[in-house]
Structures are given as structure tokens and as C-alpha cells.
Amino acid sequence: MSKATAYQAKYPDRHGHIDYTSCEHETWQALYQRQQDNVPRYACDAYLNGLSELALPSERIPQLSEIDTVLSRTTGWKTAAVPALISFERFFQLLANQAFPVATFIRSKEEFDYLQEPDIFHEIFGHCPLLTNPSFARFSHQYGKLGLAASKEERVFLARLYWFTVEFGLIRQADHQLKIYGGGILSSPGETLYAMSEKPLVKPFDLIDILRTPYRIDIMQPIYYTIESIDYLDEIVKMDVMSAVTQARQLGLHAPLFEPKANVS
């Protein structure tokens, strides 16, 4: 997770306040407005309930203390201000302690539709609404504990589980409608519409299958996996994930559904 980035995180003052420029607030407002029409149509019910709980401001970047007040009341979680990209070790440590890492910068207008690095809009608008949900919170906590105890090689496989659930997961609701719960989709106006189109392959959740599926962070995802409800995350918590990682390592990866990065013009 830690690599070169063009973005610089902002740090809170001694009162915990982060000072953003008017231009940065305008970017938040524009991103928020772009998703105002998409989210009610495409987001899952649990996300919409969380968004209502958080009552995020549309015209400015919220302070982390505002988010913490709601998360603490609903699930006992809090946020943690971090740089643009952090190590796997730090990431797992935070989740294992029920602290969600929030990169305290916002994307440039040149990367408005899709951003490789997780910015504050991605973290707060994309993920924090679901952190008010007990099933999502329990899954995130257990994931952190698993990752903290895993080897470097095992963490590579665990990253795929997070990618195809928390970041880019879909839900096939009881009425068979396809909805989004992945924060990587919900924080991206471009990927929201793409994920709900007929372009990507959509498959039901299968732990071994997911652990064997390669992905790239710099493209729209060619494949998504669905769960039946947000409560299904509790079923994943009960699974022997690390045994599945061992099995996936033995079986090897599926052929990627995308071109290698070096061959992409």
C-alpha cells in the first residue's frame, strides 16, 4: 500500500482541526453533487442508512471529529488521519483496533472520475456510511486481525478479499436488484455508472474464487462479486479465511481479465 504518490496529506492542528482551502471544499462539493443522483438509485440500503446517520455536509469537507461522533455511537469505531498511502502493517493495525484510516487530502480535478490513491472523499463518502453498520464493522475488525497475524505472502491474497468486498463489492438484494456497497465504486462517479452497466462480469461471492482473482488498481474493474445482503459479511467472518488463503496459494491465480499494465497504451 505504501508507494509514491503525488498527493500530500494535511495534518490536524492541536485541536484536531484540518484546514482545507476553498478550492478543496469546492472539489468535495462537486464530487458530492455528482453522486447525489447516483447513490439513491444504486447504493444498497445499509449504505443509504449510514449516509443518513452521518448527515455529511455537501458543501464542505467534514472534520474527522464529526464522523467519529457518529461512528462511536453506532459501532464503536473511529477514524485515523493518515498519509495518502500507508503500509499493510499500519493498515491492519488500525482496523484491528477499530480505527478506519482516512487519507486527509482530496483529489485533483484531473482525477475527478477515478483515483488510484484513497482520498478523503473515497474514505468518508465511500466507506464511513457502512461503518455505522454492525455487520460491516465486524467484518472490517476481523479482517484487520487476520491481516495483522498473516505473513507477507498471505497478505497479498487477503488484499483480494478486501478489494472485492469493501472496495468493489456488490449486493444482489432480496428483490434481485443489483446494488453497490463497495466504497471504491460509491466514491467514483465514473465507476458507479460503469458497475451498473452490462460491461463488467458479475459473479456470486466465492471465497476461493475471489482469493485467486487478480486485479489492477488503475482501471475500471472487469469483474465484481456479489453478496446476498450486508449481513452476509457476518458469514464471511465465520469462514476459515486463512485455510482458504492456503488453498488459493496452492491452486494459483486465475487468468486476468485485463491486459498487463506494460502492454496497455
- Calculate helix-pair angle for 152-162, 134-149, nearest 10 degrees: 160
Whole-number Å distance between alpha carbons of 180 and 226: 9
Catalytic pick among 24, 117, 123, 127: 127
User: Catalytic residue at 141?
Assistant: no
Catalytic pick among 24, 117, 154, 167: 167
Contact status, residue 133 vs residue 232, Cβ threshold 8 Å: no
Contact status, residue 153 vs residue 41, Cβ threshold 8 Å: no
Collapsing DSSP to helix, strand or coil, 180 comes out as strand
Contact status, residue 75 vs residue 134, Cβ threshold 8 Å: yes
Task: List, in sequence order, every residue forming a beta bridge with 81; answer none if it has no partner.
Answer: 102
Catalytic pick among 122, 135, 188, 191: 122
Collapsing DSSP to helix, strand or coil, 220 comes out as coil
Sign of the CA dihedral running 91, 94, 100, 106: negative
User: Catalytic residue at 127?
Assistant: yes
Cell matching residue 38: 447516483
Active-site amino acid positions:
122, 127, 167, 187
